[in-house]
């Protein structure tokens, strides 16, 4: 949803060249993808091409780029209350895409995105980054603002059109477009006091009240009013609740977590958020109680075992941590972030064959989702093989757009690797890239 008080922000923010920071997390990415996929399909995006990026930024914002890349801000995900409201946000953004509003902006945004990209994991990834300046540099600062200032130039007509097209997409996808209404109502709550002071004729951006009225009128029309729509089942709602809880547990400050999830709230989501927050704050015993409660309630939920693995790692219990992650991967194969987490713990434990196993896990994770953390872990797992470790570090720096270092490591790797081995060829590819 374009910033509703964009007109104010445009004045307040000058150009900010901070790096955009992404969160990689199997649970968050997969649940969100599942929820928005029908709308993307209705917009003509094949499921295999849809790619969700989670932007670590407290803005209530989202955008679609390149036709099939959906960027959702953590500030939006942690606030949007239902799967259907999330679909409405994405439908609106796809409306901008279908309306051709992105044309001039695309090049500018793409240039910004290439400038610097930081990718962060949660759980063990976060703990490792915390103790590792090379991994965590800038990541924790999370300064974005990049997409923010590039994205403010939609006109009033374009916003109206994106809402219109978005509602149509929702209908075509078979979901109730009243998701728009809950989003606008929420935006009004957030910006009402500011908007009420604004003269709508003095700005180029539609006020939420106007958008809300337009969509309400459209929904009252007879072709929509009498339609029967799909509703989200409890399972989808519960999975979405857990995603929000995970984000809030990891990213919000303690006082905010207490407001969002008071102790009286005994839902799975509330326990999840509090367990994560306790782990973050070093209250491992508190986190352990919550995690065990969650596992006893949902024995088949892989992500509760992921949390147990994180927690045991925080305790320094490497065997128990490995067992928990292994169980999570059994319950949900193809979980690149959990595979990376297990590899981290295996390289830390360093028992017989642990590093060999860690190398396999990193390679599998990289095939599914190449992240700096997976390459960094791979380099650690290759500690007895300097040439391959150098290649992995070259990939690590390359992904972070630290080109000088990427070139330095790739050169060193090449000089020691067997010519035409896969790692040799990949190092060469890095050296051949135009920077
Ligand atoms: Zn918009």
Chain segment 90-126, per-residue pLDDT in tens: 999 999 888 888 766 666 666 666 555 666 777 777 7
Distance 14 CA to ligand 1 centre (A): 21
Q: Supply the pTM of this predicted model.
A: 0.86
Distance 160 CA to ligand 1 centre (A): 8
- Map tokens 């490497």 to a residue: 318
In angstroms, the CA 176 to CA 156 distance is 24
Q: Please state, in angstroms and as integers, the Cα–Cα distance from residue 215 to each residue in 28, 38, 154, 164, 185, following that order.
A: 29, 20, 18, 7, 12
Distance 335 CA to ligand 1 centre (A): 33
Distance 204 CA to ligand 1 centre (A): 13
More confident residue, 156 or 384: 384
Beta strands in 206-339 (DSSP E): none
Distance 432 CA to ligand 1 centre (A): 39
What percent of the chain lies above the pLDDT cut of 90? 61
- Render pLDDT for 297-321 as a digit per residue (tens, 0 to 9): 999 999 999 999 999 999 999 999 9
Distance 415 CA to ligand 1 centre (A): 51
Distance 61 CA to ligand 1 centre (A): 9
Query: Does 203 score more than 80 pLDDT?
Result: no
Distance 1 CA to ligand 1 centre (A): 5
Instruction: State the CB neighbour count (10 A cutoff) for residue 434.
Output: 4
Query: Does 75 score more than 50 pLDDT?
Result: yes
Per-residue pLDDT band for 58 (boundaries 50, 70, 90) equals: confident
Query: Does 4 score more than 50 pLDDT?
Result: no
Structure confidence at residue 64 (pLDDT) = 85
The β-bridge partners of 62 are 72
CA angle (55 as vertex; 159, 26 as ends), nearest 5? 120
Structure confidence at residue 8 (pLDDT) = 31
Q: Please state, in angstroms and as integers, the Cα–Cα distance from residue 351 to each residue in 310, 315, 377, 381, 434, following that order.
A: 19, 18, 16, 12, 41
Distance 426 CA to ligand 1 centre (A): 40
> What integer is the mean pLDDT of 190-198?
64
Query: Does 10 score more than 80 pLDDT?
Result: no
> What integer is the mean pLDDT of 46-65?
87
Structure confidence at residue 114 (pLDDT) = 55
Distance 101 CA to ligand 1 centre (A): 9
> What integer is the mean pLDDT of 140-168?
66
- Render pLDDT for 373-423 as a digit per residue (tens, 0 to 9): 999 999 999 999 999 999 999 999 888 778 899 999 999 999 999 999 999
Distance 2 CA to ligand 1 centre (A): 4
Provide the phi-psi class of 262: left if phi over 0, else alpha when psi is between -120 and 50, else beta.
Answer: beta
Map out the domains of the chain as residue ranges. 6-220, 385-435
Structure confidence at residue 63 (pLDDT) = 83
Residue 121 φ then ψ, to 5°: -100, 165
Contact 225, 216 (CB under 8 A): no
**R_g over Cα of the chain:** 23
Crossing angle (nearest 10°) for helices 26-42 and 234-251: 130
Residue 22 φ then ψ, to 5°: -110, 155
Query: In Å, how far from its chain's centre is CA 270?
Result: 20
Structure confidence at residue 435 (pLDDT) = 59
Q: 3-state DSSP: the chain helix, strand, coil percent, rounded to 5?
A: 65, 5, 30
Sheet holding 69-73, edge to edge: 62-65, 69-73, 51-55, 20-24, 117-121
Distance 83 CA to ligand 1 centre (A): 19
Query: Does 206 score more than 80 pLDDT?
Result: no
């Amino acid at each position: 949803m374009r910033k509703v008080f964009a007109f104010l922000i445009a004045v307040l923010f000058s150009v900010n060249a901070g790096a955009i920071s992404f969160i990689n997390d199997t649970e968050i990415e997969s649940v969100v993808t599942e929820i928005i996929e029908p709308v993307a399909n209705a917009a003509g995006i094949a499921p295999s091409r849809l790619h969700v990026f989670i932007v670590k930024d407290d803005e209530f914002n989202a955008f679609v780029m390149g036709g099939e890349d959906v960027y959702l801000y953590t500030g939006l995900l942690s606030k949007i209350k239902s799967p259907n409201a999330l679909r409405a946000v994405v439908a609106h953004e796809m409306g901008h895409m279908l309306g051709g509003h992105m044309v001039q902006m695309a090049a500018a945004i793409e240039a910004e995105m290439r400038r610097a990209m930081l990718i962060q994991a949660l759980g063990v990834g976060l703990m490792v980054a915390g103790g590792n300046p090379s991994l965590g540099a800038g990541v924790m600062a999370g300064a974005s603002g990049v997409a923010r200032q590039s994205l403010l130039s939609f006109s009033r007509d374009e916003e109206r059109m994106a809402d219109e097209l978005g509602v149509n997409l929702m209908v075509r996808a078979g979901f109730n477009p009243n998701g728009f209404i809950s989003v606008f109502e929420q935006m009004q709550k957030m910006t009402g006091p500011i908007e009420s002071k604004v003269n709508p004729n003095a700005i180029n951006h539609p006020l939420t009240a106007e958008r809300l009225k337009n969509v309400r009128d459209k929904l009252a029309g007879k072709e929509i009013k009498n339609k029967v729509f799909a509703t989200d089942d409890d399972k989808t709602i519960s999975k979405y609740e857990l995603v929000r809880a995970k984000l809030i547990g990891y990213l919000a400050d303690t006082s905010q977590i207490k407001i969002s999830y008071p102790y009286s709230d005994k839902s799975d989501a509330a326990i999840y958020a509090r367990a994560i927050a306790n782990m973050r704050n070093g209250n491992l015993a508190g986190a352990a109680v919550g995690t065990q409660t969650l596992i006893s309630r949902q024995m088949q939920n892989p992500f509760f075992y992921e949390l147990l693995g994180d927690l045991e790692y925080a305790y320094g219990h490497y065997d128990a941590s490995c067992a928990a992650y292994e169980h999570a991967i059994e319950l949900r194969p193809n979980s690149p972030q959990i595979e990376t987490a297990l590899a981290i713990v295996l390289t830390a434990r360093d028992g017989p064959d642990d590093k060999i196993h860690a190398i396999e896990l990193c390679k599998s994770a990289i095939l599914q989702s190449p992240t700096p953390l997976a390459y960094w872990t791979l380099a650690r797992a290759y500690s007895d093989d300097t040439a391959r470790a150098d290649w992995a570090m070259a990939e690590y720096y390359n992904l972070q757009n630290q080109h000088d270092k990427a070139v330095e490591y790739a050169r060193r790797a090449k000089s020691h690797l067997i010519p035409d081995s896969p790692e040799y060829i990949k190092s060469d590819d890095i050296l051949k890239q135009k920077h």
